[in-house]
Chains A and B, each alone.
Chain A
Amino acid sequence: MHFAPHLYLDPGSGSFLIQLLIAALLGAGIALRAYWGKIKELFGKKAKADEDHDDPSN
């Protein structure tokens, strides 16, 4: 695949590759968490909403 064709910063080869590796791992973690949430829901617990809880400086 092609990465963004209009890059004006050099993202660095090593940085790209390690990122793919780490992100794959962390993405899998998120998927697991989602499944775990669904399992908990089955037993009557509500999954917590994560919409916009990320106001940075407060």
Chain B
Amino acid sequence: MRTMTTQATKGQLSASFRDPTGFLFSRDGVLYRQVNRKYEQEYTRLMQSGLYEKLTKVGLLIPHAEVDQPTIEFDLVPSRETVYKVIQPERVPFISYPYEWSFGQLKDAALATLSIQKRSLKLGMSLKDASAYNIQFVRGKATLIDTLSFETYNEGQPWVAYRQFCQHFLAPLALMALKDMRLNQLLRVYIDGVPLDLASKLLPWKTRFNFGLLTHIHLHASAQKKYAGEEVKSHRGSMSKQAMTGLIESLDSTIRKLDWKPGGTEWGNYYDITNYSDAAFEHKKQLVREWTNRIQPALVWDLGANTGVFSRVVSEAGPRVIAFDIDPAAVEQNYRQLKAEKNENLLPLLLDLTNPSPALGWANRERDSFSERGPVDLLLALAVIHHLAISNNVPLPQLADFFAETGKWLAIEFVPKSDSQVKKLLASREDIFPTYTREGFEAAFKNRFNIHEAVNVNESERVLYLMEHI
């Protein structure tokens, strides 16, 4: 499975080019990180100060092994002089991005970053960047995946990542909590975080009475405007360690106070308003469990997962499950629930299937699109087809193509027109879907899949299929 875009010839990951202290590359499907000679001192300090051990023990930093692996050759740079070490970080099963996270996930990623910074300061180091893209959810926990993010802390020096932290974390969290949840999508437009002048304009006026937001966003934005392009050298200053601690604590408490209660959105209480009986629900669970055990997938994507009821049925059988849903409230509830149950196999993410995450960044190669992160072993598409075929007018053959390109196995539920949920979708519009029938569905999907099973769900008009991509 291809997990990250690489440059075709050299194997260097195309998102890994900004930091001159090293980069990621992939060889024979294994991910390595080259540590440059330039970073030797900081790397040694990270490993010998006890910081690495402390952070990896609590799951705040991705563990790695030093390997005796030749690095990749470069045309311009003689690698022997440049390379200090090659390390092999633990592989993250699925890379997700901040615009796919719920409020709680972005908040935990922010608090993890600050926690790392606090622990680093105690051991004489500091984070030199605070990018949300450096955080991934590993075993359910927000984890820093960039081993080269640390630098030696010299007292007096301000936090170089302060601006980035405010843009990547504080501004979007404040906008989500205090203005509108959907503003998290600004992260999809602004790859280096929400510009602070924009956040300042969008936030309600009353946020000026919140000390943290007043200083870290509103005054910060004004200062950026006032001093734009001026050299820092001309305004010398020094920041004591106590001042640095004060800054980090202030960011921490400002973020902890931001909160959002899921609910009141489209699907938050979906399972209370479904039209099928307990027997139908149990039957679906039983089929999904049986099929997962039969196929033994390593990675499963549950499309339209809602709060993750079926994702959990699948994950109990062992595989890691990514539970995608369009509703921020459902994703948030799912995330809170998995934290409470300490579920390490589940990752809920926000996704609009009718407009999935695109490839973003420099040359469109820094952040992979949704489909570039597949194909996956097993796709779950339960109670979702009518939303794509009817609400979004996607013809059935195109749906079959999409699923075939996204997964090897497909467990999909067909919801017929006679179903009350579909009737609702058609209530206020013309029925322009003559082929949306069980026969039409099967004919379209047979072109791309072998249909292994077709089971009528008990006490319902729905049919559950297990198919294998041809």
- B274 interfacial contact with A, CB 8 Å: no
State the interface size on chain B (CB cutoff 8 A): 61
- B157 interfacial contact with A, CB 8 Å: yes
CB distance from A9 to the nearest CB of B (A): 6
Considering only CB atoms, which chain B residue lies closest to A15 in the complex?
B163
Considering only CB atoms, which chain A residue lies closest to B20 in the complex?
A8
Instruction: Report the separation of the CA atoms of residues A5 and B114 in the bound assembly, to the nearest whole angstrom.
Output: 23
CB distance from A33 to the nearest CB of B (A): 10
CB distance from B238 to the nearest CB of A (A): 6
Q: Specify which chain B residues have a CB less than 8 angstroms from the CB of A19 in the assembled complex.
A: 158-159, 162, 239, 247
Q: Specify which chain B residues have a CB less than 8 angstroms from the CB of A54 in the assembled complex.
A: 114-115, 118-119, 252
The answer on a CB contact under 8 Å between A22 and B247 is yes
CB distance from B470 to the nearest CB of A (A): 42
The answer on a CB contact under 8 Å between A9 and B236 is no
Considering only CB atoms, which chain B residue lies closest to A3 in the complex?
B157
CB distance from B101 to the nearest CB of A (A): 13
Instruction: Report the separation of the CA atoms of residues A16 and B246 in the bound assembly, to the nearest whole angstrom.
Output: 15
- B250 interfacial contact with A, CB 8 Å: yes
- A20 interfacial contact with B, CB 8 Å: yes
Considering only CB atoms, which chain A residue lies closest to B241 in the complex?
A27
Instruction: Report the separation of the CA atoms of residues A30 and B252 in the bound assembly, to the nearest whole angstrom.
Output: 14
Instruction: Report the separation of the CA atoms of residues A55 and B266 in the bound assembly, to the nearest whole angstrom.
Output: 33
The answer on a CB contact under 8 Å between A17 and B235 is yes
Residue of A16, A30, A57 contacting most chain B CB atoms (<10 Å): A57
The answer on a CB contact under 8 Å between B243 and A14 is no
The answer on a CB contact under 8 Å between A57 and B141 is yes
**Chain A residues numbered 30-58 whose CB sits less than 8 Å from any CB in chain B:** 30-31, 52, 54-58
Interface string of B162-186 (1 = CB under 8 A from A): 1110100000000000000000000
Q: How many A-B contacts at CB < 8 Å in the complex?
A: 139
Q: Specify which chain A residues have a CB less than 8 angstroms from the CB of B247 in the assembled complex.
A: 19, 22-23, 26-27
Instruction: Report the separation of the CA atoms of residues A1 and B157 in the bound assembly, to the nearest whole angstrom.
Output: 9
- B161 interfacial contact with A, CB 8 Å: yes
Q: Contacts A9-B129, A9-B161, A13-B229 hold; do A23 and B224 have CB atoms under 8 A apart? A: no
Q: Specify which chain A residues have a CB less than 8 angstroms from the CB of B250 in the assembled complex.
A: 22, 26
Q: Chain A at the B interface: mostly helix, strand, loop or mixed?
A: helix
Question: Among B215, B223, B236, B240, which residue has its beta carbon within 8 angstroms of that of A14?
Answer: B223
- B142 interfacial contact with A, CB 8 Å: yes
Instruction: Report the separation of the CA atoms of residues A20 and B131 in the bound assembly, to the nearest whole angstrom.
Output: 21
Q: Specify which chain A residues have a CB less than 8 angstroms from the CB of B38 in the assembled complex.
A: 6
Known A-B contacts: A20-B158, A20-B239, A22-B247. Give 20 more (CB < 8 A): A4-B154, A7-B128, A7-B160, A9-B161, A12-B163, A13-B229, A15-B163, A15-B224, A18-B219, A20-B243, A22-B219, A25-B246, A27-B244, A30-B245, A56-B60, A56-B112, A56-B142, A57-B111, A57-B112, A57-B339
Residues of B within 8 A of A (CB): 18-21, 38, 58, 60, 108, 111-112, 114-115, 118-119, 128-129, 141-142, 151, 154, 156-164, 166, 215-216, 219-220, 222-232, 235-240, 242-247, 249-250, 252, 339
Closest 5 CB pairs of A and B: A26-B246, A27-B243, A14-B224, A56-B111, A15-B163
Could you give 16 example pairs across A and B, Cβ below 8 Å? A4-B160, A11-B158, A12-B163, A13-B227, A13-B229, A15-B162, A15-B223, A16-B235, A17-B232, A18-B219, A19-B162, A22-B219, A27-B240, A29-B246, A30-B242, A54-B252
